Structure 1
Amino acid sequence: MFVGLALLAAAIEAAVGYPDRLFRAIRHPVTWIARVITWGDRTWNSAGDSDLQQRLQGVALLLLLVAGSLLTGLLISALLHLVLPAIVAFVVLAVLASTLLAQRSLDSHVAAVAEALEGKGLAAARAAVAMIVGRDTKDLDEAGISRAAIESLAESFSDGVVAPLLWMAVAGLPGALAYKAINTADSMIGHKTPRHLHFGWAAARADDLVNLPASRLAALWLALAALLRPGLSARQACMAAWQDAGRHDSPNAGWPEAAMAGALGVRLMGPRSYDGERVDGPWLGRGRTIATARDIRSALSLYRTACGLQMAVLLLVLLALILTM
């Protein structure tokens, strides 16, 4: 049942995304989770607490988020199946679950960067890429903008598409909600800043754990997708992921980013700037450092193929489960 739910949710989200009108009316489920995290950070995270107190309070907030997400998902599922015919409840549940995926919105945001580079100039491209990356963008040239967009596409494919879909297939709506709670907590408080070093420790470690299988799976989907895209290299995607993923400062993000770099024949990461401070990060991949809007288009093509492969595998798994029933 959960594999079918994940497949239908992915198809719905790919077709319609999350409508802007709905977002303006009720926001997005992630924004509701973010409000709880903001409340917990404001209420439980005090500079006067010891490091141990901050860490324990961060653990408590994470447990509250996960338990609340699991309970919410279970209650919604139970209520729908109680008041609606089974097939209708299943479809409604898939519609709700589709809001936790980001296939279409990720595609749109990255495509906007390519469109800006192709016809609107560097200033518009910098503004577009600033919507999806955390680094400084005001001084980026075309190559820097292109690399930043491609890196964001690869990393977000893992934690915005593959991971929630994986946990949805394993544990239904409750599993996907719990994943999004952990991932959102990591993005908000899982930083090594003085305020969040200890309070966000549990969120950061939990996010590393739940994203571990998805990051490797995302690299696999990208490598397999490269087999189907003329001019891209599955072999180089595999080699880059194997050799360079561990050079990334994240235990997970390096896998899809390195696979993307290898497939496209470019190098990603490298030196960049955050809040005015230069970070001399390692390069991922063995290709060229010069990237263009054309490379973003190739990355998007690879990404769309990988999303399609993922859905095809879900369909095959569902058929196999049906045949064994």
Structure 2
Amino acid sequence: MSAALGLLALGLDRVIGDPDWLWRRVPHPVAGFGALIAAADRRFNRPHWTPKLRRVAGVVSTLALLLIAGLLGHILHRLLHPLGWAGFALEALVASVLLAQKSLADHVARVGRALEGDGLAAGRRAVSMIVGRDPDALDEAGVSRAAIESLAENASDGVVAPWFYLVLSGLPGLFAYKMLNTADSMIGHMSERHRAFGWAAARLDDLANWVPARLTAALFALAAWLGSNFAAGRRALRAALADGPSHRSPNAGWPEAAAAG
């Protein structure tokens, strides 16, 4: 049933995506996760604490946040399960909200349309919506590379990984993964404030994405084979195996190298 739930959720996300009109009126679930993470950061990441104490506080806070997310997913499943097929469809609809397939595809396609239709300046504006770097120095090839790199990395974090945990353990697994991934983006970096407190979120996120990142690379190779020919798929797989481990991230290099191949 989890596999069927994952397939239906993926289909719903591809058709519906993240409608702007809805999320302008109600908060997105990830925004709720972010609010919980920010509250834990304010309450338990005290600047006057020693780095060791802040790391311990970060470990406890991260585990507590994952427990809360998983419990929310479990409660929602228990509420919807007695409704039969209607409840199953509602579960899939909820799950589709936490997948980013359509929104990611739309954002990247918008960069291509901007380049082709309105030129380099428009392409730079469009790619600035999906990458963190300054696009003003990028030429047309650079804009294209930045968009494809963002697609490759976010295909793992935003589509394959949440889908993987949905299929593996239903809504509790999906909710827990999204909480962890959101925590990594908010507190899992090496700033002075978060180097100790965010250590657990960063390490657990690396661990959680280990399988999905490599699965994403394999899916890119499969897509290249099916969409072009066997040689294209082999190039993608060879590039992932050769260059994926060279990235400073233990996971991001795999889908990015496969896309490059």
> Normalising by structure 2, what TM-score?
0.96
SS in 1 for 2:227: coil
Aligned to 2:244: 245
Q: Equivalent residue for 1:5?
A: 5
Partner of 2:142: 144
Instruction: Give the superposition deviation at 1:238.
Output: 1.0
Report how far residue 88 of structure 1 moved.
Answer: 0.8
SS in 2 for 1:26: coil
State whether structure 2 residue 259 is matched by structure 1 residue 257: no
Note the residue ranges of structure 2 that are not aligned, 5 or more in a row.
none
Paired position in structure 1 for 2:54:
54
Residue 170 (structure 1) aligns with: 168
Distance 1:152 1:64 in 2: 30
In structure 1, the residue corresponding to 2:6 is in which secondary structure?
helix
- Aligned with 2:209: secondary structure? helix
Name the CA distance, whole Å, in 2 between partners of 1:71 and 1:41. 21
Q: What's the % identity of the aligned pairs?
A: 52
- Partner of residue 153, structure 1: 151
State the distance in 2 between where 1:196 and 1:137 align.
27
Residue equivalent to 1:192:
190
Q: Which string of whole-angstrom CA distances, capped at 9 and with x for unpartnered residues, describes residues 40-59 of structure 1?
A: 22222222111111111111
Q: Which residue of 2 aligns with 1:90?
A: 88
- 3-state DSSP class of the match of 1:205? helix
Q: How much does 1:130 deviate?
A: 1.5
After TM superposition, the structure 1 = structure 2 runs for residues 94-105 of structure 1, keeping only pairs within 5 Å, are 94-105=92-103
Residue aligning to 1:230? 228
SS at match of 1:228: helix
Partners in 2 of 1:195 and 1:128 — Cα distance?
32
Shift of 1:138: 2.3
SS for the counterpart of 2:109 is helix
Cα distance between partner residues in 2 of 1:95 and 1:67: 22
2:209 equivalent in structure 1: 211
Q: Residue 214 of structure 1 aligns to which amino acid in structure 2?
A: P
Q: Deviations over 1:30-81 (max 9, x none)?
A: 1110111111222222221111111111112211210011110111111122
**Amino acid corresponding to residue 34 of structure 1 in structure 2:** G
Deviation at 1:27, TM superposition (A): 2.5
AA matched with 1:259: A
Deviation string, structure 1 residues 232-283 (Cα, Å, up to 9, x no partner): 7111111110110011111001110000000xxxxxxxxxxxxxxxxxxxxx
Aligned residue in 1 for 2:38: 38
Deviation (angstroms), 1:228: 1.5
Matched to 2:86, the amino acid is V
The one-letter code sitting in structure 1 at the alignment partner of 2:34 is A
Extract unaligned runs of 5+ from structure 1. 263-325
* Corresponding letter in the other structure for 2:97: T
Report the AA paired with residue 140 of structure 2: E
Question: Would you identify which runs of 4 or more consecutive aligned residues in structure 1 move more than 4 Å?
Answer: none
Matched residue SS, 1:135: coil
Q: 1:118 aligns with which of 92, 116, 119?
A: 116
2 CA distance for matches of 1:186 and 1:70?
Answer: 17
Could you tell me which amino acid in structure 2 is paired with residue 47 of structure 1?
Answer: P
Q: Offset of 1:128 from its aligned partner?
A: 1.4
Deviation (angstroms), 1:160: 0.6
Higher normalized strand content (fraction of residues): 1
Matched AA of 2:257 = A
Q: CA deviation at 1:124?
A: 2.2
Distance (Å, rounded) in 1 between the aligned partners of 2:132 and 2:31: 18
> Once the two structures are superposed, what CA deviation does each residue of 1:169-190 show, in whole Å capped at 9, x if it has no partner?
0100110010000001101111
Query: How far apart are residue 19 of structure 1 and its match?
Result: 1.6
Distance in 2 (alpha carbons) for counterparts of 1:118 and 1:54: 50
Q: Secondary structure at the match of 1:61?
A: helix
Distance 1:165 1:222 in 2: 16
**Aligned residues, how many?**
260
More helix per residue: 2
